[in-house]
Amino acid sequence: MAYPRPFREHMIKKIIDRLLGKPSAAPKATFGKRRVISEKEHRIDHELVDDRALNVVRTLQERGFEAYIVGGAVRDLLVGLKPKDFDVATNATPEEVKACFRRAFIIGRRFRIVHVVHGRGRDHEVIEVSTFRAYLDSQDAEQVSGNERTSKKALSNMTHAVDASGRVLRDNVWGPQDEDAARRDFTVNAMYYDPHTGDVIDYHHGFEDAQKRVIRMIGDPAARYREDPVRIIRAVRFSAKLNRLGFKLEPRTAKPLKAMLSLLADVPQSRLFDEMLKLVQTGHALASIQQLKVLGLAKGIYPLLDVMVERADTPFVSAAFQDTDRRVGEGKPVAPSFLLACVLWADVREGWHARTGQMPIYPALQEAIEDVFNARIGDVSGRGKLAGDMREIWTMQPRFDKRTGSGPFGLVDQARFRAGFDFLCLRAEVGEVDIELADWWEEFQHANDDARISLIQAVKPAPRAVRADGSEASRKRTRRRRKPAGGAADGNQPA
Ligand code: ATP
Ligand code: MG
């Protein structure tokens, strides 16, 4: 197959460098030695391999391209885990991949890949197909003086570019498989599995490392963190995810982590935010928090993550993490808005608490929420839906106390009712509200209309208004208080 232009240019530059006697930036040894591990040796369980990934590999191979399952999926298969997603690597360019499938989309700028989409709606599945990347040393790459934002124009025509610190801003030069392997992060993430021959291809002793339970960075760890500081967070993620199987970060890989932390300051916030969510929403939130502490990274990756670590041992946040891990383990969906609402609930409650007695319940809650968003605006700005969902979860809480009239009927019909209710259950779990209240809503939401009416009738009248400090409000004051919007009964309080 003819290699595309960027790769040809890269090869020509290499040849000229060689003619000029310039030492090659990347000696061939960097690329490791190809080793083929047969099915008899690796014993991957075929049942764990996704049919859609198989289909993508087969389609590409039938069109004459090389194609493999790659990366984390191979790592997981080798240790008997069911991969949560499947990535495919090929020597076809993104355009060629796109032409092979009916629903395929080229995405990304820094790193162009193709999303091959199967199915629709909630059940849709995306297989990420990436073209083998050429290994390029920072010295070979074009350098821009600014960052992703300030150098947008200059970057638009570049296929491989780094900033002054060596951080990779564009990584779109195609190359052979051994070079592709060398630019992956950890040895256990750099293997290729051909499901049709059954062979696993390994250049960096990833197979041995998987057996020895070692997470080892390919090449010089410090240089690799500098190229892409997000690898710092990935190191934490994999050591958390694989911890229960006995995996440990190789000391050389772990050593520079803390010192490199400041490099994360230049990474776009949205990428950090996504990586943070992967730490806490992929089924090993508690393990991730523990690893962050063990590795000395409890502070400094991302402001919201700092808050998570600080609060991880409080009953409410700890219950939220446990709940999230359990849900992911059971294959249930988890929403970032829910976990973030849990993490920031202490702030909302505090602000709400401080205002009760001075103003009606709803405006007090709204103001408290506003304060929390203002204080954290940088963290969730530009994420309208996420913030909207968090707001809804919080503002629903006092409405759970109102179990009279048509209120409960309206509440269960709300689109975000389930999230609000799950939040209420967590509050009940830690003793913030009566468990009876959560049980009542559990029954109510599943009951038919007649049973719902009986449930409402059976509710004892709400106690008289109670202030934040626990004392009963005087009748006079209760009468004078405006009826809060949404109709929450007096007597509710931020528990
Ligand atoms: P997970 O099980 O969480 O999906 P993964 O290893 O598959 O983990 P992905 O983010 O899906 O991680 O990436 C797929 C593969 O792409 C990785 O296994 C690795 O080989 C490569 N990769 C991803 N991100 C980087 C990076 N920042 N630097 C180097 N290689 C990377
Ligand atoms: Mg993956």
Domain CATH for 456: 1.10.3090.10
Q: Which stretch of 106-110, 118-122, 265-269, 479-483 has the lowest confidence by average pLDDT?
A: 479-483
Does the predicted TM-score (pTM) go above 0.75?
Answer: yes
What are 232-271's pLDDT values in tens digits? Answer: 999 999 999 999 999 999 999 999 999 999 999 989 888 8
Residues 241, 164, single domain; the answer is: no
Please indicate, yes or no, if residue 422 is contained in any of the structural domains.
Answer: yes
Whether the Cβ atoms of residue 186 and residue 217 lie closer than 8 Å to each other: yes
Sheet architecture: strand order including 142-143: 142-143, 160-162, 168-171
Please indicate, yes or no, if residue 492 is contained in any of the structural domains.
Answer: no
Q: Which ligand is nearest to the CA of 89?
A: 1
Q: Which ligand is nearest to the CA of 183?
A: 1
Q: Specify the residue with its C-alpha closest to ligand 1, atom 28.
A: 185
pLDDT of residue 19: 63
Listing DSSP states for 302-370 in one string gives: -HHHHHHHHHTTSHHHHHHHHHHHHHHHTT----HHHHHHHHTHHHHHHHHHHHBTTB-HHHHHHHHHH
Q: What confidence tier does 7 reach under pLDDT thresholds 50, 70, 90?
A: low
Counting atoms of ligand 1 from 1, which one is nearest the CA of 278?
3
Please indicate, yes or no, if residue 224 is contained in any of the structural domains.
Answer: yes
Residues 81, 122, single domain; the answer is: yes
Q: Which helix (H) or strand (E) holds 35?
A: strand 35-37
Q: Which stretch of 2-16, 306-320, 404-418 has the lowest confidence by average pLDDT?
A: 2-16
Q: What confidence tier does 16 reach under pLDDT thresholds 50, 70, 90?
A: low
Question: Between 384-396 and 361-375, two packed helices, what is the crossing angle to 10 degrees?
Answer: 150
Residues 235, 284, single domain; the answer is: yes
Report the domain count for the chain. 4
pLDDT of residue 135: 82
CA distance 397 to 424: 7
Residues 317, 354, single domain; the answer is: no
What are 290-328's pLDDT values in tens digits? Answer: 999 999 999 999 999 999 999 999 999 999 999 999 999
CA distance 4 to 82: 35
| DSSP code of residue 10 | H
Query: Residues 458-480, buried b or exposed e (16+ Cβ, 10 A)?
Result: eeeebeebbebeeeebeeeeeee
pLDDT of residue 153: 72
| Residues of the domain holding 157 | 143-170
Counting atoms of ligand 1 from 1, which one is nearest the CA of 184?
30
Q: Specify the residue with its C-alpha closest to ligand 1, atom 12.
A: 72
| DSSP code of residue 398 | G
Q: Specify the residue with its C-alpha closest to ligand 1, atom 14.
A: 71
CA distance 292 to 109: 30
What are 359-384's pLDDT values in tens digits? Answer: 999 999 999 999 998 887 665 656 78
Residues 98, 182, single domain; the answer is: yes
Residues 31, 109, single domain; the answer is: yes
* Ligand 1-lining residues (CB < 6 angstroms): 71-72, 84-85, 87, 184-185, 189-190, 228, 230-231
Please indicate, yes or no, if residue 339 is contained in any of the structural domains.
Answer: no
- The whole-number average pLDDT for the span 213-237 is 96
Please indicate, yes or no, if residue 333 is contained in any of the structural domains.
Answer: no
Please indicate, yes or no, if residue 495 is contained in any of the structural domains.
Answer: no
Query: Which residues are part of the catalytic machinery?
Result: 85, 87, 185
Phi, psi at residue 2, to the nearest 5°?
A: -75, 135
Residues 115, 151, single domain; the answer is: no
CA distance 388 to 416: 10
pLDDT of residue 141: 65
Q: Which stretch of 91-105, 160-174, 462-476 has the lowest confidence by average pLDDT?
A: 462-476
Q: What confidence tier does 17 reach under pLDDT thresholds 50, 70, 90?
A: low
Q: What confidence tier does 472 reach under pLDDT thresholds 50, 70, 90?
A: very low
Residue 33 sits in a domain whose CATH number is 3.30.460.10
Please indicate, yes or no, if residue 273 is contained in any of the structural domains.
Answer: yes
pLDDT of residue 106: 96
